[in-house]
Amino acid sequence: MKRIILFAFVLTFCGILSAQETAVKQLGKADFLEKIMNYEKNPDKWVYLGDKPCIIDFYADWCRPCKIASPILEELAEKYKGKIDFYKVNTDIESSLKSAFGIQSIPAFLYCPQNGNPQMSVGVAHTAEETKALFEKIIKEFLLK
């Protein structure tokens, strides 16, 4: 019995560790205000606080298109490590961020260049390959131009 309990604990612990080791980092409101933009302090002007461009995925766990985008963003986060930060915001938990950016459909993606104003897109393409190609185009033509 003790072995079963220990085994279950180890599996649970390893699951928690693997969830934390993703290249796309989870953002809550406090982190958003500190790392991306403090819209409470600057409600009328975009002031980006990051030290490199970023992509923020506004998603929900139940959203099927969000599940299509997630592994693509993980792959791109590894590819562009050190050049672009990748974040995700769970809109079911962070409703204030969802409201602040007027998000009505998910997935929604906020692309924040180092300088200048951000852009937002909603949804994914018909296939994972097309979705990845769109992300790559935005990265090359907007974030890393």
Instruction: Supply the residues annotated as catalytic.
Output: 63, 66
What are 105's two structure tokens?
Answer: 């459909």
Helix (H, G, I), strand (E, B) or coil at 121: strand
Closest CA to 139 of 66, 53, 52, 27: 53
Q: How far apart are CA 82 and CA 68, in angstroms?
A: 24
